[in-house]
Amino acid sequence: MKRSKYDRPVRPAGEGGRLTTSAMIASLAGPGQRTKAAPFGHALVEIAAQRPDIVGLTADLSKYTDLHVFAKAYPDRFYQMGMAEQVLMGAAAGLAREGFTAFATTYAVFASRRAYDFICMAIAEESLDVKIVCALPGLTTGYGPSHQATEDLAIFRGLPNMTILDPCDAHEIEQATHAIAAHKGPVYMRLLRGNVPLVLDEYGYRFELGKAKVVRDGRDVLIVSTGLMTMRALEAATALKADGVDAAVLHVPTIKPLDVDTIVAEAGGGRLVVVAENHTIVGGLGEATAGALMRAGVTPTFRQIALPDAFLDAGALPTLHDRYGISSEAVARRIKGWL
């Protein structure tokens, strides 16, 4: 079996010979689920064809953030900064000051932990046109705390001028990439890369910056979700329906600015409200939603499905998602227990 510095071989593991997936980069698609390859990279190429101001930068991770698609199409507008995330953000800021719209890609842990001060002082304070697009958000890698960006939303939510997105699938990533290219000011966008599942197109969904949308209605429970957890919420809602539980799913792709009006309106109907996110329980969508509801005087029965306030284990993603409660089966099980 071949190895690379970014991947591990697939092999039987554990009792029963269950197959593991790559610890580093594994598809989030279920068996037979439709996928689309590199939606961010291809969308950026489409935009760049009409926008000569678009440039792309990365810190030695073009292949693993899908920016290699842009690099191949526009090599004269692509900058490989090496393993130097602080330099990456400083260079992106400099290009933005010269009138370019800079898309800077790396892993979410490196942007949020290693380059935060550069993002704060060089990009956010000046409200520059830099789009920070980061792969491996939350628990989407099994390589342990060094690569699991479980607290990135909490880190960036407190940063003035920063728009924050957590798209659900390939359909939304394409649309969100076009939207942030048109938006003036800094953006942090979580990225699912590689062969990304297609889900929301089946619901006629259209992304709008700053807007939460009901993807599925239901009378018993409202699941407020973001990112890949909207996929899981929809899967859980289907499973719950078989048990007589009618679950609604409110997808919130824009974490900041939060669509408070829609959240308050949907949460005020007397249903159990469950916030589901691929992020630590501290400082993400759950606490943002709870704060918005309290300030509005809306007090439903409220629960959170999120990652624990802990450094997580390494391992295969299906095993980790079950262990930490963000698989569709775990989501359905917990909601049934709360009803």
8 A C-beta contact, residue 37 and residue 194 = yes
User: What does the angle CA 269 – CA 307 – CA 103 come to, to the nearest 5 degrees?
Assistant: 95
Taking the C-alpha atoms of residue 121 and residue 2, their distance in angstroms, rounded to an integer, is: 42
Task: Give the rounded distance of the alpha carbon of 148 from its chain centre.
Answer: 12
Residue with tokens 């629960």: 303
- DSSP letter (8 states) at residue 114: I
DSSP one-letter code for 204: T
Q: Of all helices (H) and strands (E), which one includes residue 20? A: none
Q: At what angle do helices 328-338 and 228-242 cross, to 10 degrees?
A: 60
Counting Cβ atoms within 10 Å, is residue 74 exposed (0-12), middle (13-18) or buried (19+)? Answer: middle
CA distance 273 to 29: 26
Place of tokens 């980061």: 134
126 Ramachandran zone, left/alpha/beta (phi>0; psi -120 to 50): alpha
Which of 46, 85, 208, 287 is an active site residue? 85
Q: Scanning the structure block, which residue is given the tokens 């709008």?
A: 208
φ, ψ (nearest 5 deg) of residue 329: -65, -45
Task: For residue 64, count other CB atoms closer than 10 A to its CB.
Answer: 20
125 flagged as catalytic: no
Omega within 30 of 0 (cis) for the link into 257: yes
Give catalytic residue positions. 85
